[in-house]
Amino acid sequence: MGLSNVSPQETVAQRENPEVKDVTEQSTSLKDYFRVLSYTTPKDRMVLVVGLICSVGSGVPIPIMNIVLGGLVGNFSSYFTPGSSTTEAQFKASVSRLSLYIVYLFIAKFTLTYFSMYCFRVISLRVSAALRLEYMNALFSQPISKLDQVSVGTVINAVTNLSNSIQQSISDKLATLFQSCALLIAAYIIAFKYSWALTLATSSSLVFLLIVTSLTLPVVTRIQRQVDKTDEKHSATAAEVFGSIRTVISLGAEAPLAKTYRHWVTESRNRGRSMAIVMGVQFGFIFFAMYASYALAFWLGLKLYREGHIPNIDTVIIVFFSIMIAVSVLGNIATPLTMVFKAASAARSFFEIIDAEKIVAGGLCDSAALAQGDIVFQDVAFTYPTRPESTILQGLNARFERGKTTALVGSSGSGKSTIVALLERWYTPDQGRISVGQRDIQQLDLKWWRSQIGLVQQEPFLFNDTIFNNVSFGLVGTRWEKEPDSVKAKLVQDACQEAFAAEFIERLPKGYDTVVGENGTKLSGGQRQRLAIARSIVKKPTILILDEATSAIDVRGEKIVQAALDRVSESLTTIVIAHRLSTVRRADRILVLRDGVVSEAGTHEELLSTDGLYQGFVNAQRLVLTAEEEKVEEEEEEAADSMEVVEALREELAQSTPDTSEHPQDEHLEKIKDRGFFRSAGVFIYETRKHWVFCLTASLGVLGAASAFPLQSWLFAHLVNVFSLSGTKLTAAGNFWALVFFILSLGAAVSYAAVGYSGNRLEAEVSASCRTEYFENILRQPVPFYDRNENASGSLVSRLATDPKQIQELIGLNGLIPVISVCSMIGCIAIAFSFGWKLSLVTVFAALPCVFLAAFMRIRYELQFEALNAEVYAGSSQFAAEAIEAFRTVSALTMEGFILDRYAGLLKQQQRHAFRKALLATLVFAFSDSVELCAMALTFWYGGQLLASREYQPTSFYVVYMSIILGGQQAGQFFSFGPNVAQATSSANRILNFRPALDDTRVASRQTISHLSRGSGARVEFRNLAFQYASQRTPLFTNLDLTIESGQFAAFVGPSGCGKTTLVSLLERFYNPTQGTVLLNGEDIAGLDAASYRRSLSLVAQEPRLFEGSIRDNITLGLDSSEYTEDGLIQACVDAEIHSFISSLPDGYSTQLGIRAQTALSGGQRQRLCIARALLRNPSLLLLDEATSSLDSQSEKLVQAALERLAARRSITIIAVAHRLATIQKADVIFVFGENHDGTGSRLVERGSHQELLQKRGAYWLMISKSIL
């Protein structure tokens, strides 16, 4: 994702488009689609065969109708021939018998269509589910280096948008395709039986159509493939933005990121535009061939009749109608065939992953080597595949002794986390060997090896599930995996007890059944860390790896977690990575890394005695104390650790425990409205008027195409009359009406070409504008909106992918075809009434209400099915997104099989609901698809009565019959579009619910803060502040008052969960106070324009977020090119201690971070980059929320010095939230927070400078005494 504000086209299009082009050049063919159908079980194949047979059978009744019609025409001729011996009673009996045949055909078609549609619905659900599952399975079988190149947006786009295309092509279109093919074949068989010469001659149109489709469909498929790839790009952008929404909002980066998103949507639109010409040509030629073949059939049939090659008019009528049906069916085949090719294109995206190289399974399970040997790195060199120019480990030699604790310390980027990645076998060393007990770990079974390791990462990932399930995930792959829940419960409780997590869990209202929220957001950082520790030790691992396990925890929480780690690491081979050196001082051995090699090794005391790198780290973390406090330090050293832990736990339990219920965060966030079709989808149809050129050509094309069927009915009446002529009159009349039919074919060609071109252009334009608006409207939502479970990033990206597509389907080509059907139906009925009002009246008012009722029920059931589908898809796609986002956690816990089983369970749940719905729904569908035969039977019978009494002449009957038949078919085509209407209505409702109300658009007149000049600092006041999260039972703050003067360096300290980060969130206006005000320079921030206000702030959050693009793009994100200089950019990076690292890269500031920017750099490098980003903005108020928690001691000291120099200028107000108290000891004022006296909520306990608070010997003094190294 390009983030540069200078030229998005240069940074995005030039860099990314070649990649898209390369991918799109891969061939897509129908074999991909047939391969999709191979994802069937033997039982599925039986169902598919039944569906295929029934589908073929349901296509036969219409061609058989031609034989009935031919017999009827013969009866008419004999009855109306002067001197005929046929009596009225005989004629009526014959008509009744033939009408009854049509009723039998209705019953047959209804039954066969029902089974056909149900079978294909079942197969579509099962095949798409199997394909999704295989795709996810293949993803989790990829090496990490491959997954690093797959964005979450790409995965969501595949399991929602692309898989929906595949499912719809099987469910709706494949049945239609087989039915139409059967109808085509049956019609030609009948035609050949009666006149092979006429049939063969008119079949030339088939050859023409085959040539046209063979030339156009590959082009359509190639373009569709390109569109799919650009769709993946904007889905990836959306996933990145919604997954880092707080960072985006705090940087004011909505506009540049929306610009990037708009770029990819526009690219998709431009590629889609090129399809319009191809579709216009395809449609024009197809419908020209259809109507030209009618002209040829009539002209040649009449010629053969004149010459005696055809015995009677019955044969001409049967052959003519058969050819007419056969060729018209080709039009019906075109749409599903196009859908099939699009589905084949979608399938290619699945098979790219499915066919990719997978991790080789298998290997040894050598428990003896693990139990007896050390872990040894021998001359290990490693370079990340995404950064081949930077060697991380350079011949590393290290030994991790069995049953002992080894600590790794070093500067950011020195290779500490890389060692963990290599031990977890996420990557393979470029050279060298990693062994355990003389056994190369590459020889060991991968899942078995990982099951022996307990890993606690720097940013522990918790799944949106219960506490019990999150901890029990650690049992996956162990001997306890299949044990009953009662056994697991005991193991989980024991693990939580050891990790000091049981205390807070048991105080939660739902205990172990508490849902922790997306990524554990309903718990504090310390609580998440302890659950992660419990999860890692519940399986009783042989090796325990702790990667910055206490970096985000306050002093008190660190004591608890550290005690937990000390307890569980006894007798285990433990590897500890830490920047807080207080957590590694008790390690049996400490390895100091520098530039990918071990530079120092020894115990804490040994390393302190040498003047080396470790001693420098320790000195950088020392607190400045008075002589009296140093004496206290010595006394405190003698205090028992167990007493400190007990005290810390007691203090934590005194804190109010949040209610983690799943109430909405804000009842005013989203006003859900359920609008009907005209007030939802109709709004988007109305808005297409801005594309008036395409609307006009589409409208003219629709009217022209719709007039073809009524004109066809009128022409047919004259064609039948021609057979009553003879001699030259017969020849002249035949030539004239054949010419008229040919002219009609030219008109149809032009009309359908206009429809094909305009429909595709409207699809491209509407989809682009709708998708961009939808994205921007979601981006405008307040932060509490994103806190809700249903608005998790995966769900939002899923909606963003599918909802605009439904609107596109409605307004584009697929929506114009039903409009043609409606207009054709109206025209046919009008023609029928002009030729015979009595028969038309009976037919229209007796038969069509049944058609309409069936269609209404069909749409209603489809709406329900679509809502169910959307709900399940949202759940399964969010789950898939969560699993891919946390694939390192998933692989470390060997949860791949569990994830796939659970994903399969979600898909099966969807199938069960869908199957039940389909039982009744397809009954309604089958009736609406077959009811036209009832209309035919009624028309036959009543028309026969009118003919028998000679009230009607055959000509009038033929015109009315043709009009009703064609009109009924068109009604059927329109109502078959019902599912699309239902889905579009639901999607339009969701999109419109995000549109800002008129009142909201007027809020832009709020006061800006342009008067707040840069370099002046900002005075911050919290007055009588109260705040309560919607999910909490009690307020976090009540009546809080504090003031920070302009230019001051202020610090917030206190235990986890006491509201420090909440105050930062209130300053950023992520949330609004429950009562009281937040003032900036004396003005209520709620009355200021949010964008202008946030421009004067900079936030460095605890979890740094980077985006796809270059390093420069990330640092300047949210800024215009006029707001910074190159020198300013470099100085910000120098102050953040990141410039030298960037300069060492071959591409420097232009280095691309790739699709997964979060894994491209180490935690410390990411954090320093974010600090540089904040400093470059030259803010009046700088907010640092644990901004240096991931930095090594030396980097932290240098960054801290730069911040202190900045604070000394008094040109900026700095507010720092810190757990490392050494980083804020030079603050002008320190605010210490703690629990209220009644144990509910938080309060300001004390304030003052570092020395003033030490002299008070209060809460701050206690925190200092516990954090002494």
Query: What one-character-per-residue DSSP string does 705-773 give?
Result: HHHHHHHHHHHHHHHHHHTT--HHHHHHHHHHHHHHHHHHHHHHHHHHHHHHHHHHHHHHHHHHHHHHH
SS3 399: strand
Evaluate whether residue 654 is within a structural domain: no
Asked whether residue 452 is assigned to any structural domain, the reply reads yes
Asked if 1046 contacts 1019 with a C-beta cutoff of 8 angstroms, the reply is yes
pLDDT digits (tens, 9 = 90+) for 1105-1162: 888 888 999 999 888 888 888 888 998 898 888 888 888 888 888 888 877 777 777 7
Share of the chain above pLDDT 70, in %: 82
The reported pLDDT for the residue numbered 1095 is 86
What domain range includes position 990?
A: 8-358+672-995
Of 995, 1018, 1040, which residue is a domain's last? 995
Residues 256 and 395 in one domain: no
Helix (H, G, I), strand (E, B) or coil at 1178: coil
Please name every residue paired with 1181 in a beta bridge, in sequence order, or none if there are none: 1097, 1213
Domain shared by 678 and 616, yes or no: no
| Residues 330 and 286 occupy one common structural domain | yes
| 377 shares a domain with 350 | no
Surface-to-core class of residue 143, CB atoms within 10 Å of its CB (0-12 exposed, 13-18 middle, 19+ buried): middle
Confidence label for 531 from pLDDT (cuts 50, 70 and 90): confident
Query: Is 1257 a residue whose pLDDT tops 50?
Result: yes
Assign residue 979 the CATH number of its domain: 1.20.1560.10
Going by the DSSP 8-state scheme, the letter that residue 997 receives in this structure is P
Query: 346 or 870, which is more confident?
Result: 346
- Beta strands, E only, 1186-1260: 1213-1217, 1229-1235, 1242-1248
CA 904 to chain centre: 18
Which residues are CB-contacts of 445 (< 8 A; sequence separation ≥ 6)?
361, 362, 363, 364, 365
The structural domain count of the chain equals: 2
Does one domain contain both 701 and 777? yes
pLDDT for residue 233: 86
574 has which bridge partners? 405, 544
Which residue, 873, 872, 879, 862, is CA-closest to 986?
862
Is the confidence at residue 645, as pLDDT, over 80? no
Say how far apart CA 1117 and CA 258 lie, in whole Å.
Answer: 12
* Residue 792 sits in the same domain as residue 838: yes
Examine the domain organization and report whether 548 and 457 are in the same domain. yes
Beta carbons of 480 and 539 less than 8 angstroms apart? yes
* Any domain includes 1190: no
**pLDDT for res 775:** 92
Q: Is 545 helix (H, G, I), strand (E, B) or coil?
A: strand
Q: In terms of residues, how long is the chain? A: 1269
Contact 1089, 1172 (CB under 8 A): no
CATH number for the domain spanning 418: value is 3.40.50.300
Q: Which of 604, 627, 650 is the last residue of a domain?
A: 627
Query: How many CB atoms are located within 10 Å of the residue 1215 CB?
Result: 25
Task: Examine the fold and report which residue of 995, 1028, 1063 is the final residue of a domain before the chain moves on.
Answer: 995
Instruction: Read off the pLDDT of residues 121-161 as tens digits, 9 standing for 90 and up.
Output: 888 888 888 888 888 888 888 787 777 777 777 777 777 77
Residue closest to 333 by CA, chosen among 294, 365, 276, 287: 287
Say if residue 344 is in the same domain as residue 371. Answer: no
Could you tell me if residue 38 is inside a domain?
yes
Tell whether 620 is covered by a domain: yes
pTM of the model: 0.67
Residue whose entry in the numeric block shows the structure tokens 């302009």: 1046
Domain shared by 811 and 855, yes or no: yes
DSSP codes of every residue in 580-626: SGGGTTT-SEEEEEETTEEEEEE-HHHHHTSSSHHHHHHHHTPPP--
Clarify whether residues 386 and 282 are in a common domain: no
The CA distance from 508 to 467, in Å, is 11
Residue 549 resides in a domain: yes
Interatomic CA distance for residues 1055 and 1064, integer angstroms = 15
Band the pLDDT of 1021: cuts 50, 70, 90: very high
Classify residue 218: in a domain, yes or no: yes
From the CA atom positions of the chain, what is the Rg in Å?
A: 37
Structure tokens at 32: 């991909």
Judged by DSSP in three states, 453 sits in: strand
- My answer on whether 229 and 252 are in the same domain is yes
Per-residue pLDDT tens over the stretch 51-100: 888 888 888 887 777 777 666 666 666 677 666 777 888 888 888 888 88
Q: How far apart are CA 573 and CA 436, in angstroms?
A: 11
778 lies in some domain: yes
Same domain, 604 and 483: yes
Contact 101, 934 (CB under 8 A): no
Strand partners, 573: 543
